[in-house]
């Protein structure tokens, strides 16, 4: 059993946009061994958007992703195939900071006509579980790190760096989840 920690970056604009308009432009992920909670391997790839290929100034500023990064990247179908191969066939539970990442992967799979594997439905919203375990309101990943006394590492709003930071939070929270009975927080029951 593994834990797959996923963080996505997507096209965005100053004004909020519906999820269906946004396109994934980076997939960052970390696999933690469920027994040791150590990082086993990492995945990082830019994704070329096709509906609206030009990144907004706001998006480039927020994510530090350059236009040339996505222009040279593969499309979602190609990156998704590589990502699924990277995840492998071992059983896993997917974690992300909030439900956005799971929902966006489902939207992109529908948009590109590719299957969304049932194995990804074994999902935990770490943001909700962190709030529950700590007995506080849900907060952003950066604030959660601060509450744990952990510095933000890397560049915030970059998929691989955020996935690494979320994995560090998971290493603290997961032992609490394993000791406590499951309570609904937006995720699905642990495996």
Cα distances from 32 to residues 4, 47, 112, 164, in angstroms, run 6, 23, 29, 10
pLDDT in tens, 29-84: 999 999 999 999 999 999 999 999 999 999 999 999 999 999 999 999 999 999 99
CA pseudo-torsion sign 183, 189, 190, 191 = positive
Q: What percent of the chain has pLDDT over 90?
A: 92
* Domain assignment of residue 189, yes or no: no
* Domain assignment of residue 71, yes or no: yes
Q: Indicate the angle between helix axes 76-87 and 100-112, nearest 10 degrees.
A: 120
Q: Is the pLDDT at 3 greater than 80, yes or no? A: yes
Reported as a pLDDT band with limits 50, 70 and 90, residue 121 is confident
What average pLDDT does range 17-37 have in this prediction? Answer: 97
What residue spans of 42-140 are helical by DSSP H?
Answer: 57-63, 67-71, 76-87, 100-112, 126-134
Reported as a pLDDT band with limits 50, 70 and 90, residue 181 is low
* Domain assignment of residue 26, yes or no: yes
Q: What percent of the chain has pLDDT over 70?
A: 94
Q: Is the pLDDT at 140 greater than 60, yes or no? A: yes
* Domain assignment of residue 18, yes or no: yes
Q: How many helical (H) and strand (E) elements, i.e. helices and strands, does the chain have?
A: 7, 5
pLDDT at 191: 41
Question: What's the mean per-residue pLDDT of the chain?
Answer: 94
Q: Is the pLDDT at 188 greater than 70, yes or no? A: no
Longest CA–CA separation in the chain, Å: 47
* Domain assignment of residue 159, yes or no: yes
* Domain assignment of residue 82, yes or no: yes
Q: Which helix (H) or strand (E) holds 168?
A: helix 159-179
Residue 153 domain boundaries:
2-179
CATH number at residue 63: 3.30.420.10
Nearest to 155 by CA among 47, 43, 83, 61: 61
Domain count, the chain: 1
The residues, any chain, with a CB within 8 Å of residue 175's CB and separated by 6 or more, are 37
* Domain assignment of residue 133, yes or no: yes
* Domain assignment of residue 80, yes or no: yes
């Amino acid at each position: 059993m593994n834990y797959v920690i996923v963080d996505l970056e997507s096209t965005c604009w100053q004004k909020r946009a519906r999820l269906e308009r946004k396109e994934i432009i980076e997939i960052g992920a970390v696999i933690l061994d469920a027994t040791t909670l150590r990082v086993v391997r990492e995945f990082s790839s830019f994704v070329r958007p096709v509906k609206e290929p030009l990144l907004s100034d706001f998006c480039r500023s927020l994510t530090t992703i350059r236009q040339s990064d996505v222009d040279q990247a593969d499309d979602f179908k190609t990156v998704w195939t590589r990502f699924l191969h990277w995840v492998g066939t071992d059983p896993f539970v997917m974690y992300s900071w909030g439900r956005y990442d799971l929902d966006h992967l489902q939207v992109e799979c529908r948009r590109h006509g590719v299957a969304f594997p049932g194995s990804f439905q074994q999902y935990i919203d770490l943001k909700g579980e962190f709030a529950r375990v700590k007995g506080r309101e849900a907060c952003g990943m950066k604030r959660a790190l601060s509450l744990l006394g952990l510095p933000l590492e890397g560049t915030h709003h970059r998929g691989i760096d955020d996935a690494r930071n979320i994995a560090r939070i998971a290493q603290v929270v997961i032992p609490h989840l394993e000791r406590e009975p499951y309570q609904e927080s937006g995720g699905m029951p642990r495996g």
